[in-house]
Structure 1
Amino acid sequence: MDASSPTDNQTQAAPAAPATTPPCAVTVLIARRVLPAAVVGFEAAMRGMLAAAQEFPGHLGGQVVPPDEAGDSEEPLLCHVVFAFDTEAHLAAWQNSPERAHWLQRVLPHTVGAQQLQRVTGLDYWFAAPDGTTRTAHLCWKVACVTWLGIFPTVLLLFLTVAPLLADWHLVPRLARWLHPWLHAGA
């Protein structure tokens, strides 16, 4: 009998569970065209939608970004809305909810054309393709490595060149003194 084969009294180890990657926060960027006369109604409906989203598990925040252009012409303005959830599952629960469907119906009369929706996880927006095409999500650890490779050399260079010039400034005690009222507020 082969020494590596199991005997009747031995049990084989179960296959190792696949490694799971930690969940990344998901941000949804929405762009809608809104006629100048409908901007106030659109923003009010979107604030209602944001308030409804706050009641959902994993909601990290949201914001209506008003249009940059002046509303003097009759051309539709580009309005943006940002939603963030802590996981894909929590975002999906919100997107499939009757509450969201209700608020979409309230938003629809104020908009022109279809919405443009872009999902971003973690720092994916920084790593998006220049042509704007959608690609599969990057692994969080790869994004972290690229981010670290961009930040570490910069910090190291500043530490080696500028830090010796600032050694006599005692910046941390000064900051603590300057920010004392804020640090000890409500204590």
Structure 2
Amino acid sequence: MDTPARTPSPATTALPRAVTVLIARRVLPAAVAEFEAAMQGMLAAAEHFPGHLGGQVVSPQEVGDAAEPLLYHVVFAFDTEAHLAAWQESSERAHWLEQVLPHTVGTQQLHRVSGLDYWFAAPNSTTRAAPPRWKVATVTWLGIFPTVLFLFLTVAPLLADWWLAPRVAVITVLVVLLMTWVVAPRLTRWLHPWLHASSK
């Protein structure tokens, strides 16, 4: 007798999720130029790997004492865990790490998230599961809609004479910055009981 075909479970049919690695490194002011050059080399090398979605070096917003290390953030994004692992285990990454490490102070801090989970992860945690995707999408829209509306009413008129691409670039950068450091942290704190409520 033929064995009935099994229906794939949601776990086996789920689509792969993009993965973002957020890295924090401290750099002495005297080594900034060398560090940034090495990081740009690493970012350029990562672009040639399958599944690479993007990368960026985020410079410190404030510069303090000349002897105080500066906090840099580096972002790498890949479309799947497997492609991220291929990059992390590659000889190219190892080579560029050798160029970067002499210009840093202390150990790096690494945080890995999937999709938009960065906005919804618990502070200082790398293990907490993200809320359901539909809740993530809902809260993301609740944050992006008023943010974009505010920027179109305040910033966009000041850029009316700019070309379209630079205008869109400025607006989207501001949206990301406001969502990451202002809007999303407050929304996720206010809506925390709902976001992380256990399903019945």
TM > 0.5: yes
Q: Identity of paired residues, percent?
A: 65
In structure 1, runs of 5+ residues without a counterpart are 1-9, 156-177, 183-187
User: Displacement, 1:45?
Assistant: 0.1
Match of residue 114 from structure 1 = 107
Counterpart in 2 of 1:148?
Answer: 138
Contact 2:121 2:130 in 1 (8 A): no
- Preserved contact between residue 28 and residue 84 of structure 1 (Cα < 8 Å): yes
The residue number in structure 1 matching 2:90 is 97
Structure 1 residues 21, 43: CA separation in 2 closer, same or farther (over 3 Å shift)?
Answer: same
Deviation for aligned residue 1:115: 0.5
Q: CA deviation at 1:72?
A: 4.2
CA RMSD, Structure 1 to Structure 2 (Å): 2.6
* Aligned residues between the structures: 147
- Of 8, 25, 29, which aligns to 1:17? 8
Q: Deviations over 1:1-60 (max 9, x none)?
A: xxxxxxxxx312143333321111111111001000001100000000000000000111
Note the alpha carbon deviations across 1:115-164, whole angstroms, 9 max, x for none.
Answer: 0011111111121114x22224437xx22334226637x97xxxxxxxxx
Three-state SS of the structure 2 residue aligned to 1:40 is helix
Question: Which has the bigger relative contact order, CA under 8 A and spacing at least 6?
Answer: 1
- SS of the equivalent of 1:29 reads strand
Q: Which has the larger radius of gyration?
A: 1
Alignment partner, residue 80 of structure 1: 73
Question: SS of 2:106's equivalent?
Answer: strand
Distance 1:120 1:133 in 2: 10
Provide TM-score, normalisation by structure 2.
0.65
Greater share of helix residues, 1 or 2? 2
Which residue is 1:170 aligned to? none
Which residue among 117, 120, 125 is the counterpart of 1:133?
125
Question: 1 CA distance for matches of 2:82 and 2:130?
Answer: 17
Which stretch shifts more, 83-92 or 63-72? 63-72
TM-score, normalised with respect to structure 1: 0.69
> Aligned equivalents of 1:52 and 1:99: distance in 2?
7
Quote the Cα distance in structure 2 between the aligned partners of 1:123 and 1:98: 29
How far apart are the structure 1 equivalents of 2:52 and 2:140?
Answer: 30
